[in-house]
Chain A
Amino acid sequence: MYIVVVGGGKVGYYLAKELIDAGHELVILEKNSGRARQIADELGSIVLNRDGCEGKHLAEAGANRAAIVAAVTGDDEDNLVVCQMAKHHFDVPRTIARVNNPRNEDLFRHLGVDEIISPTRMVLASIEQDIPVHELLHLAQLKGGELELVEAQIGENSPAVGRRPADINLPEGCSLFLLLRGNSVQQIRSDTVFQAGDKVLAVSRGEGESILRRELIGDSEPIGATH
């Protein structure tokens, strides 16, 4: 398979190395001459010291017979332009772009980039997975910050499970008012019994928050301890 890689940074370099090892034919376009020489020293004459965003350089690289064009520079705008040129000017069947700003993903998809790789998104997803939901989620500030609207997720180990509002030792100035259970939203009444999986909307005030957290969520484990 013939592959054109635009951008000879770390990603482009290791990508090219792996693809060559797998027996593919490829060329790297790298506009920085020093970097291009460096790659050529390591990987042989597979580098064109050209700006891959320019149409004539993509033509020179044989983009019209490439099965894939992968744009992996550190600049989103360059990656987008490379993929658009490849797709619409050279009829490349598959274009792959590295996207650094996750907010740009939709635009890329919308403008016809076939595949989008977002390192930022990947790291973000990995981090979010590792954070246990042991905290109160702050939704809004009320009365100029005096009160906080918070959401608590009742876990299996929460001391609130099986209890009614009256059984919960609420700090002064705090109140529980809304229950999100499955797809339903209900008001918290005196006969409401909390279950694991419930989300509780509450209003907390100042120092009362840590007590609220302990009563509804329980003592948290250190982050990452379960992994």
Chain B
Amino acid sequence: MAREGHDVTIIDVNTEAFTRLEPDFPGQAVRADGTDEDVLRRVGTDSADWFFALTEGDNRNAFAAQMASENFGVANVVAKINDPVRAEAYTMLGLATICRTRLLIDALARHAGLDADPGASGVRLAEGHHDHHETAVPAGVPATVSDGTGQ
């Protein structure tokens, strides 16, 4: 996304995670806890067009995403929630979710020529009060990625 010209900030509590970034990564990498309101304010979450919470912790993601949307008014937030039950519940609450478990099941089912569950999808747009039409990051807008706030 950064290479395509978007203004991207990555937050991670672990600087080692940043070594995986390409040396010429044009965005910002901030070592901090992405569930801390002060941190999110500092990195300018209030002016972000998109907020992705993609840590390995479902709860941290649900928490950070809701904080971005409720406290900072970010219009588009996506939380990675790998527990399908929780992902489903948060989708009903109006939070867009991406569920790796479901994505894998779908991909494997397709690969094996089986019928995937048509009612479930790995990427679920919010079904509540939020309204999402696009899943791609629009050109030239800042986005904040909260990746790995712990462990």
- By size class, the interface of chain A is 20 to 34
Query: Inside 8 A of B63's CB, which chain A residues have their CB?
Result: 76-77, 80-81
Q: Can you list, as one digit per residue, whether each of A82-96 has a CB less than 8 Å from chain B (1) or not (0)?
A: 001100110000000
Structural contact, A107 and B89, CB atoms closer than 8 A = no
Interface contact tally, CB-CB below 8 A: 58
Whether A81 contacts B58 in the complex (CB less than 8 A), given A53-B86, A55-B83, comes out as yes
CB pair B92 A80 closer than 8 Å = no
Interfacial chain A residues near B60, Cβ < 8 Å? 77
Does A227 touch B at the CB level, under 8 Å? no
A80 B85 Cβ-Cβ under 8 A = no
The secondary-structure label for the interface of chain A is helix
B61's nearest neighbour on chain A, judged by CB, is A77
Complex Cα spacing A54 to B89, Å: 11
* Contact with B66, one of A85, A103, A107 (Cβ below 8 angstroms): A107
Q: Secondary structure of the B side of the interface?
A: helix
- Residue B36 at the chain A interface, CB threshold 8 Å: yes
Assembled-state Cα–Cα distance A106/B88 (Å): 25
A29 to B67, CA, bound (A): 26
Chain B contact-residue range equals 20 to 34
Residues of B within 8 A of A111 (CB): 66, 70
Query: When the two chains form their complex, are residues A77 and B37 in contact, meaning their CB atoms are under 8 A apart?
Result: no
Is A110 among interface residues, defined by CB-CB distance under 8 A? yes
Task: List 10 A-B pairs, minimum CB-CB distance, nearest first.
Answer: A55-B85, A77-B63, A77-B59, A81-B59, A89-B89, A77-B60, A103-B37, A78-B59, A81-B62, A80-B63
